[in-house]
Structure 1
Amino acid sequence: MTDQPATQPVTVDRADGVATVTLNRPDRHNALTRELKDALVAALAEVGADPEVRAVVLTGAGRSFCVGQDLGEHAAALEADAATAFDTVAEHYTPVVVSLTTMPKPVVAAVNGTCVGAGLGFALACDLRVFADGATLGTAFSAIGLTCDSGLAGTLPRAVGEAKARELVLLGRNFTPEEAVAWGISGEVVAADDVLAAATRTATRLAAGPTLAYAESKRLLAEGISRPLAETLTAEGDAQARLGLTADHAGAVRAFLDRERPTFSGR
């Protein structure tokens, strides 16, 4: 089922508990205009709040995932008022990353092609990634005299280490999916034609799983990086206690004892 016509800047398709959110400016490599960013913020809020959606795929139409900000529109914003040209960071980029990282369901990035700048930030904000072999990845910001946005200053060093992150941001060189995986940016690398199918298979598997547990795990993992161990132990105990009261947990324990496959309803 498609929620918007294909001419919209962002489309959302739902099937089998999975919502596929597609950036839809293929002729411009899904460069981010205000229209597209507004639509993406709204689409992610919608699928994040929809109880029928149990997993999400984020991808781009055409040959690219996302090349970041549309520089033509940005140049016009600078000319109009350089002091407000970067309001989009708080209005769009930050809400997108917050939605991806905090929505109580897993998100899989189907990185079908070029993925740079904010596009890379969006991909790293997802829980899992599938990369097209041959895709170009990069930070890109230093090439236009800017620094990171879209969470890259946090997600990139956590994935590849501080030293490698400094290299990738300061030198601004592009890299391959194979390099990304070797450095610690977890992800599956597949043929370009198989990216969306592979990501959808993973999302469908997750959608059939214990989504309440996934939501608790996302929170624990995000907060556990910088939280003292004692606080993490307490948070884990609290999360386990909440999950222990769910029908999903009780049913899964019964299924295990009966040597049956558990089913999860999100309750």
Structure 2
Amino acid sequence: MSFQHILFSIEAGVATLCLNRPEQLNSFNTLMHQEVREALKVVQSDAGVRVLLLTGEGRGFCAGQDLSERNVAPGAEAPDLGLSIERFYNPLIRTLRELPIPVICAVNGVAAGAGANIPLACDLVIAARSASFIQAFCKIGLIPDSAGTWALPRLVGMARAKALTLLGERLSAEQALEWGLIYKVVDDTDLRDQAIALARQLATQPTYGLGLIKRSLHASLDNSFEEQLMLERDLQRLAGRSEDYREGVAAFVEKRTPAFKGY
């Protein structure tokens, strides 16, 4: 597939999707949204893809929406931003969150606006030491989207979520790690290598079971205790019927390295 605003490849079970508008800090325009959607359709349909790695090209991860597509001239009719959310951002966040495989996000620089919240829909976020997260919406009179208002209070608590979104201050990668917003911070020069190594390592694991783990953890945010116990029962039943479980037990008994297939 040929793309203009993203780089996309699949190798050794790892699909790598790199936002590629570096001169615009990888901000989203309509074409990039469409290309990301097409790449994610490939990820969803290709049984050989075991892990998704999302990152950005150049000095920034993603500056959110390209505001040159949102400029409102004096006296002109205001755009329907809710329509943009419904068509593009919400489907993107749902897809990343619901993929039944591990999703790694490598944040290589500034992550602002929607670009600060897209990583929060991923499973493991690794940030370069120079990276930063900015809830920039308040600077232009908007509210956080891309599930930011859902994820932030759950990850950092309501007080910090309000501070981040009402003040729009820069949050360093180190502080994001300290607050529990992301998984890991690494030196800038090591980011891509470490993210790829982690993706390749996960691609050798029982990814069907990892997908069920994701599903159970997501459900726990809304389930009661009893509902979660029942869900664990149901998902363990599915896991126990998988070929990966069969292989994992056989490898343990035979004292060898398992060869998982992701189903």
1:178 correspondence with 2:178: no
TM-score, normalisation: structure 1: 0.94
1:86 correspondence with 2:95: no
Q: Report the Cα offset of residue 76 of structure 1.
A: 5.0
Q: What's the counterpart of residue 23 of structure 2?
A: 27
1:65 correspondence with 2:61: yes
Q: Cα RMSD between the aligned structures? A: 1.6
Counterparts of 1:193 and 1:212 in 2: how far apart (Å)? 32
1:199 correspondence with 2:199: no
Unaligned runs of 5+ in 2: none
Q: Report the Cα offset of residue 84 of structure 1.
A: 2.4
Q: What's the counterpart of residue 232 of structure 1?
A: 228
Tell whether the 8 Å contact from 1:78 to 1:85 is kept in structure 2 after alignment.
no
Q: Deviations over 1:175-201 (max 9, x none)?
A: 100000001113221122221211111
Tell whether the 8 Å contact from 1:33 to 1:69 is kept in structure 2 after alignment.
yes
The answer to which of 69-78 and 255-264 deviates more is 69-78
1:4 partner amino acid: S
Unaligned runs of 5+ in 1: none
Q: Is the alpha carbon distance of 1:183 and 1:79 closer, same or farther for their aligned partners in structure 2, counting shifts above 3 Å?
A: farther
Match of 2:2 among 4, 23, 31: 4
2:2 partner amino acid: Q
3-state SS of paired residue (1:226): coil
Tell whether the 8 Å contact from 2:28 to 2:64 is kept in structure 1 after alignment.
yes
Match of 1:214 among 195, 200, 210: 210
Q: Deviations over 1:191-236 (max 9, x none)?
A: 2222121111111111110111011111111111111111111011
3-state SS of paired residue (1:86): helix
Q: Is the alpha carbon distance of 1:108 and 1:134 closer, same or farther for their aligned partners in structure 2, counting shifts above 3 Å?
A: same
Alignment of 1:82-231 (within 5 A): 82-231=78-227
Q: What's the counterpart of residue 242 of structure 2?
A: 246
Alignment of 1:46-57 (within 5 A): 46-57=42-53
TM-score, normalisation: structure 2: 0.96
1:172 partner amino acid: G
2:90 partner amino acid: T
Aligned length in residues = 263
Counterparts of 2:218 and 2:98 in 1: how far apart (Å)? 9
Identity between Structure 1 and Structure 2 (%): 37
Q: Deviations over 1:105-136 (max 9, x none)?
A: 11100101110110111111110011011112
3-state SS of paired residue (2:71): helix
Q: Is the alpha carbon distance of 1:18 and 1:81 closer, same or farther for their aligned partners in structure 2, counting shifts above 3 Å?
A: farther
1:230 partner amino acid: E
Tell whether the 8 Å contact from 2:72 to 2:79 is kept in structure 1 after alignment.
no
Tell whether the 8 Å contact from 1:115 to 1:135 is kept in structure 2 after alignment.
yes
Counterparts of 1:77 and 1:243 in 2: how far apart (Å)? 56
2:257 partner amino acid: R
Q: What's the counterpart of residue 33 of structure 2?
A: 37
